[in-house]
Every structure is written in structure tokens, then in C-alpha cells.
Amino acid sequence: MMTEQIERAVADFRALLTEQIARTGEMEKAPPPKDYQSMPHIRIGMVDGDGIGPIIMREARRVLALLLAPHIASGRVELVDIEGLTIENRLATGKAIPDDTLAAIRSCDVLLKGPTTTPKGGSMESANVAMRRALDLYANVRPVTVPSEGIDWTFFRENTEGEYVLGSRGIEINGRLAMDFKVTTVAGTRRIARAAFEYAKNNGKTSVAIVTKANIMKKTDGSFSAICHEVAKDYPGITAEDWYIDIMTANLVNEKIRSRFEVFLLPNLYGDIITDEAAQIQGGVGTAGSANMGDQYAMFEAIHGSAPRMIEEGIGEYANPESILRAAVMLLSHIGLSAEADRLAGALTTCSEREKRVVVTGDRDGATCREYADYLMETLTK
């Protein structure tokens, strides 16, 4: 019995290797990135998700409809409601993204997405992980700013490899051991590194922190670091520094040195963890947006979860919409509507940092999601 299980595991691993090698070939043959500036019509998919997702997305729709009214009227921009990415529908179909929902998603150019719930126990893959793979959204970009403390960070997290790409396809042997796999490809690392250094060059940044655990994970993280340094040679005005993930998590809370960091470049798992720490420094995960970008599609979302506890306690209407609205700022910038992005970013700063006339606490002692959006829309129209 044990021998049979080992042989099946070896066969499964061979199939995974073959699949991942084929994937690297597809990356190398990918078409050039989409040029949003030249597109006469842009479809923005609006995906509610689960839990508090429909509540915060309802307000994001109202804000975008106001902000983009001229573009919508002219036909340049279309807001498209996409249904079906709910935990109930996903469980009913047995798919992380049901086929009809994925087809609707693919018909759009960019997405603004509410949080989705992932079933516990490994019964189904995360919808986010499935979407990143299906749309090849290889760059997870998360900005964090605290101007009063000199913090202006941008994190570039590799989004389609690492521990997550095969996270639901590990191996178990007879109740004795379990193994998951971590994947680092040359093509995948090179493109996320290029994205980070291009951003640094185009935004006047002078340093990129490459964050790994290469002293322990010598094959995968060692390769990630080496490839990033190869790419860095094409950017002579930018310093590339190696940091280990454990010390970098400490550096972010070290007030003496944290303001020196600008751009971070990380594999998937480390980026997932450290960006939540960074968001907490900014004011909590409810204040931070996230971009998942590829060459043909991009998806923008709040970095927090679906908050089922809030729904269970009947306080979902008190959810903070700031994170999804910060994501909307990134979406607008990505499709070339920089003036609208700046207007929304400025209004968010006024409402959440300067005036603070309407404060969302996530509970009944604060404002509702709608009340905050009303305040924001009032600010936008001044």
C-alpha cells in the first residue's frame, strides 16, 4: 500500500513538473501588454463577492458612476455587473470560478472585486488564486502611505507562483506526511522584477528591496533573488538590496529605519503576509487597496476578507468601504484616467485623514458604509 501511494505521488509530481514547464513556455510567448490609452471602449467589471462584499461594492458603484459620468455618457467607459462569484454558487458548481462567471469576467478589461470567502478544509481553491491563474495576473501591487511618518511604500508581490500556485495539489502519504510545493520560474520572476524596477524608474524611486528567505530556501528563493539582481542591472540608477523576510517584518515596525524603504519585491507568500502588516501600520487592512495586474487583464480589490462575523452580527452595513475605494483609485490610474484617480484619492484623504466628519469604525458606534460614501460624494462634487 505504501509503495503504491509513493508511485502515485511520483506520477502526480511528474505531471506537475510537465505542466509548469509548459506554463513557462506560454509566458515567454505572451502578447504585448494592452494599451488602455488607445482603447475607444473600456469595460469595467463589478464583482460583488461574499459577506460585506455586496455592501462595499454597492457604494463603490455609486462613487464610480458619479466620477465617470461623462465617460459613461460618451460610451468610453462601461460599468458591467458580473454575478455568480459567490460562495453559494461556487459550492453548487464545484468550481472556484463557475464557467459562465469566468466568461463574463473575460469579456471585461479590468475588474473591481469585493472579497470572496474560501471554504475551510481544502474543499475548494480560493477564487482569487484561480482568477490570478486564469487571467495571468502576475503582479500584486499594494501601496501603503503614512505621510506624517515618511512612509511611502509600494509592494510588488509575485502573484501566480510560489507556495500558492499548487497549494491545493500537494501530496499526502498514508496519514504519515503531507507535502506542498513551491514554484519559482525564470520567466515568472523576471516579469515581476521588471514590473517593480519599471515602477521605481517611472516614479523617481532609487531603491528596491528584494525580500526572500534565500538563506534557507536556496533553490526557489535563491533563484528569485538572483534573477531580480540580473534584471536590476538594466536599471543602473536604482539600488537593489537583499533582505530576509523575518528581519524585514521587524524593519517595518522600526520607526528609525522604515522610512528609508521605497519599493519591495517579494515572492507570493511573503508578500501576502507582509502587506497586511504594512496595511495595519497605515491604519488597518480596511484602508488599503490592492491591484492584481497582468498584461491583458487587471483586477483591483480590497485587501481585507469578506468579514462573515459582521454579517452574522447584523453589522455589515457598518463595513468600511475605504479599501475598495482605494482599489478604485488604482484602477482608474491603470486605465489612464489619472485626473479621476487623483480626484478620488484627494477626496479620500480629505474624508479619512483631514476632516474626518464621518468616521466608520466597523461597528454601530460609527457611521455606515453608505453614510461614508455620501460624505465622499459630497466632497467630490465641491
Q: What average pLDDT values come out for the chain (382 residues) when binned by 10 residues?
A: 84 90 89 90 97 98 98 98 96 94 97 92 80 92 90 95 82 84 95 95 96 97 98 97 98 96 97 93 79 94 91 97 94 94 95 93 96 98 90
Q: What is the pLDDT of residue 311?
A: 97
Q: What is the pLDDT of residue 376?
A: 98
Could you tell me if 118 and 126 are in contact, meaning their C-beta atoms sit under 8 angstroms apart? Answer: yes
Which pTM does this prediction carry?
Answer: 0.82
Q: What is the pLDDT of residue 103?
A: 97
> Which of 221, 216, 223, 205 is closest to 155 using CA atoms?
205
CATH 3.40.718.10 residue ranges of the chain are 33-137+294-382, 138-156+176-287
DSSP strands (E only) in the chain: 42-47, 77-82, 110-113, 139-146, 151-158, 171-173, 177-179, 207-212, 239-244, 263-266, 289-293, 298-302
Q: What is the pLDDT of residue 281?
A: 93
Phi then psi dihedrals of residue 315, to 5 deg: -120, 25
From residue 138, how far is each of 37, 127, 261, 295, 312 by CA, in Å?
A: 21, 15, 23, 9, 34
| SS3 state of residue 370 | helix
DSSP 175-205: TTEEE---B--HHHHHHHHHHHHHHHHHTT-
Check: CATH 3.40.718.10 for 33-137+294-382? Answer: yes
Q: What is the pLDDT of residue 235?
A: 98
Encoded amino acid at 365, one letter: D
Using the structure block, give the residue that is written with the C-alpha cell 470572496. Answer: 116
Phi then psi dihedrals of residue 125, to 5 deg: -70, 150
Q: Which CATH superfamily is domain 138-156+176-287 in?
A: Isopropylmalate Dehydrogenase (3.40.718.10)
Encoded amino acid at 248, one letter: M
Residue 143: DSSP 8-state: E
| SS3 state of residue 212 | strand
